[in-house]
Amino acid sequence: MATSAYLLPIAFVAGPQVEEGEAVRVAGGLTYASRFAVIERQGANIVAYQRFTAPALQAALPFLPDDIATQLGDLKSPRAPLTLPTRDGSRTIRLDQPQVAGILNMTPDSFSDGGQFLDDPEVAHAHAMAMLEAGAAMIDVGGESTRPGAPGVWEGDELGRVVPAVERLAKAGAAISIDTRRVAVMEAALAAGAQVINDVSALRHDPRALEFAAHSGVPVVLMHAPGDGRTLHAEVEYANIALDVFDWLRARRDAALAAGIGRERIVLDLGIGFGKSLADNLALLNALPLFHSLGQPLMLGASRKRMIGALSNQAAAHKRLGGSVMLAVQAMQAGVQLLRVHDVAETVQALHVWRGLRDAALTDFSLV
């Protein structure tokens, strides 16, 4: 049976000077890893778990599985900015620090804010503009609820929900991602001014999606969900949730590359809440640093998710702000580049404070 190897950062420091320059800067961002675990498994069984300091890991590479050197290189490699095509050229979203994507649900039945914006385009647009003013780098527009048990949406309805919102935001100069699984919606939204495809099925739902995304030239977000791309909440028994999702995302990354989508255009999302138990979600969030070894920018969408309610006396979706910000900070600490959230102003404020702490740590005289 083949052995698979994984590189997991297990300790972080405030800056490289804490370890006399021997900590590893993760993905060109503001997090620094000082210790690592190399995990090997055969099938469902962990067969080796070795711990290393950063210098010891470098020295041990000739004696470790070949893939570990590749993963270390991918983990250290700075993430290129997202290049978003516009009608008059292009714009970029830097990924050397966390960025916030604000959620605009043009749906009647999304778990958190279904119906709040669908029936009043003025309210929807004002909300999106407020998110931009609060510091969102991008607005993620969706017209299909993907909560557990949500009914299917006719393609025509989805188009009618999202295209007018995208057109108006594009005229206002916003960076826009389109949250859809359907090529017809991707195509219409991009024509209306969207610049990113965010597909919760990782381009599996529509058989034309991989080819279309490759030819579109825009960045794509590939999210983990079990099932075949149509059933996003299938019950699955994971051998090891973090390693299984890692392998799945690696396979989807490679499928995207084979289809002609450049690495600089691929973003990966762990799919918190999709076909995962509370224990699965917690394990994934604790293992976030592992996924930098795939060499791609990461997006986290945990805002107002059911897991927060499960840990908070079943708090309703609109009362999960504290938990949402906590998970956003967890993602920042782990080096995640994109945070998809409902509560933009509060998340951006947390980001500014976190960034201030990071900057101060790099020049703190007590650590020199």
Cite the active site residues.
305, 340
DSSP 8-state symbol, 368: -
The 3-state DSSP class for residue 105 equals strand
Task: Tell me how crowded residue 166 is: count the other CB atoms within 10 A of its CB.
Answer: 27
Angle formed by the axes of helices 344-363 and 321-333, to 10°?
30
> Measured between alpha carbons, how far is 147 from 112 in angstroms, rounded to an integer?
9
Task: Tell me how crowded residue 322 is: count the other CB atoms within 10 A of its CB.
Answer: 12
> Measured between alpha carbons, how far is 299 from 76 in angstroms, rounded to an integer?
18
Find the radius of gyration of the CA atoms of the chain: 20
**Can you spell out the DSSP letters for 294-336?**
G-S-EEE--TT-HHHHHTTTT--GGG-HHHHHHHHHHHHHTT-
Residue matched to tokens 């084979």? 258
